[in-house]
Structures are given as structure tokens and as C-alpha cells.
Amino acid sequence: MINTSFEQRTERRNRLIGLLRSETYWKTSDLREQLGISQRTLMRELAELKRAGYPIESERGRGGGIRLNGRWGVDRLQLSHHEVVELILSLAIMESLQSPLLTSNLKAIKQKLFQAFPQEQRSAVSNIRKRIMIGSNAGENIVSRYIAPEHALSECIAEAFLEQSCLEIDYQSESGEHTTRVIEAQYILLNWPIWYITAWDHLRESPRMFRIDRIKSARIVNGYFQLKPIEVFIGIYTPYYKSI
């Protein structure tokens, strides 16, 4: 891996500082594992932090490690729109899964959190929230045959959904038929643990529903889509879902 974007780099640095602050002493090998980077890169990052004035002390040799002295201020919490979506979605899913311990106040927590963000961000995120729906858990016989899609594929789908990009998918239906089509991911729906896309399908020029574990591959194609009115999809696929 070569290079990271400014965004990733910024986040990595914040995570590093957060880790340093969360424990009194660290071995650099543990830090690098936490961050998923090479030892060399970590050492560079630490050298830069020192140059920037962070009071990092270190000890070589057996039992050695590093420490961030004193208290160091942290900026106001800032989450991107996508991060807010992930946060709210996670809380909504946990609420729907109803684990017995320590999950009984999630609805209130979700509301409090969301209210703490600025209005502009709430508006932007709400437009995405309306397109994400959670239903009831999938039945056991469905789950037993379920295999989660691989990570890069899922990320591609998520990006197409969030950015409203058209997506070309290779799809295998339940009957085993393979098709390639361009779709607009207008909504995503979760019957835990299975995700569905309610899409406008360019192949059939009509609404269709796709299970993401049946998408064999996908790539974002040229072109963005506009959201269609919910009426296009209602009555067919979404009567029993609740948006997050």
C-alpha cells in the first residue's frame, strides 16, 4: 500500500493520538497493529508528532515503549455525513436486534446524539436515513444459506448508494439465472442479517429488489441518479419496513 489520502491520514493521526491518550504506555508494535500500518510508517508519524510539539517520551530496550505526557486537547467532535449515517444505523440495528444486556435505552441515545449535530448536517443525513430501512429478522432457513458478500463488493455498493451513483451488477437470482444490469440503489433494506437493495432497474425499466448476497460483482458506472418518489416502490416492496 502506497500513499493515503489526506482524509485517511488525518483520521489516522487522530486515532493515534486517541490511542496514546487511552493508555499510559504503549509498545510501538502494538500501536502499529492497532492502526494497521508498518513499523516504519508509525515511527515516522511519531517523529512528526514530536516535531509538532507533542510531549512524547520513549524508552529503548527491553520493556521499552512510548508515552504521551500530560493532557492534550482534542478538537470538537466532528463526524462526516457518512460516519453519522453509520452511527445512527448501527444504533438502529442494535435496537432492532434486542440483545438482552445494556441495550434498552438505544432509542433515546440515538435521538440525543442526532440532535447534537448541527442542523445542516442533520438535514443532509436525514435524506439518507429515509432511504435506509430495517425490517424483521430473516427466517432461519434463509440465514442458514446466507453468505456475506466480500468486503470490496460491499464497499462498492455502499458508495453507490451514498453517492447516488449508478451501479452495474452481475446478479444471480434464486433460480440461478445470471444477468448483468445497471441499477439505481434508491433504498437499502435490512432483514437482519440480509441486506436488500430496492432499485430502479435500467434493464427492465422498473422497480426491482436485489439481495446483496446474490450480487456477484459490481462496479460504479458513469452517471448519477435522482431519487424517485416513494410511490414508485410502495405496495410492492416496502410496506413493512421502517426507516432509520
Partner DNA sequence: CTATTTATGCCATTTAATGGCACATTAGAT
Partner DNA sequence: ATCTAATGTGCCATTAAATGGCATAAATAG
Residues that bind DNA (CB under 7 A): 1-7, 9, 12, 26-29, 37-41, 43-47, 58-66, 222
CB-based contacts of 49: which residues, under 8 Å, 6+ apart? Answer: 13, 16, 17, 56
Q: Retrieve residue 156's grid coordinates.
A: 462498492
The residue within the footprint of its own copies, chosen from 58, 99, 127, 180 (CB under 8 A), is 99
232 binds its own copies (CB under 8 A): no
- Give CA–CA dist 86/81, Å, rounded: 9
The residue within the footprint of its own copies, chosen from 29, 39, 104, 173 (CB under 8 A), is 104
| Least Cβ distance, residue 86 to DNA (angstroms) | 20
Complex with its own copies: residue 63 or 100, whichever CB lies closer? 100
Residues between 39 and 78 with contacts to its own copies, criterion CB under 8 A = 48, 51-53, 55, 57, 69, 71-78
- Give CA–CA dist 94/11, Å, rounded: 25
- Give CA–CA dist 185/167, Å, rounded: 8
Contact mark string toward its own copies, 3..22, x via CB under 8 A: ---xx-xxx--xx--xx-xx
Complex with DNA: residue 20 or 92, whichever CB lies closer? 20
Q: Is 71 exposed, middle or buried (0-12, 13-18, 19+ CB in 10 A)?
A: exposed
The residue within the footprint of its own copies, chosen from 96, 121, 172, 243 (CB under 8 A), is 121
- Give CA–CA dist 84/90, Å, rounded: 10
Complex with DNA: residue 47 or 74, whichever CB lies closer? 47
CB-based contacts of 161: which residues, under 8 Å, 6+ apart? Answer: 131, 185, 188, 197
**Window of 90-98, 167-175, 200-208, 231-239 that interacts with its own copies by CB under 8 A:** 90-98
Complex with DNA: residue 21 or 216, whichever CB lies closer? 21
Complex with DNA: residue 2 or 101, whichever CB lies closer? 2
Phi-psi region of 243 (alpha: psi -120 to 50; beta: other; left: phi over 0): beta
Q: Total binding residues for its own copies by CB under 8 A? A: 82
What, of its own copies, DNA, none, does residue 230 touch, CB below 5 to 8 Å by kind?
none
- Give CA–CA dist 180/145, Å, rounded: 23
Helices (H), 36-185: 39-51, 81-97, 106-115, 119-129, 140-143, 151-163
Residues between 133 and 152 with contacts to its own copies, criterion CB under 8 A = 140, 144, 148-149, 151
Complex with DNA: residue 39 or 206, whichever CB lies closer? 39
91 binds its own copies (CB under 8 A): yes
Whether the CB-CB separation of 230 and 186 falls below 8 Å is answered with no
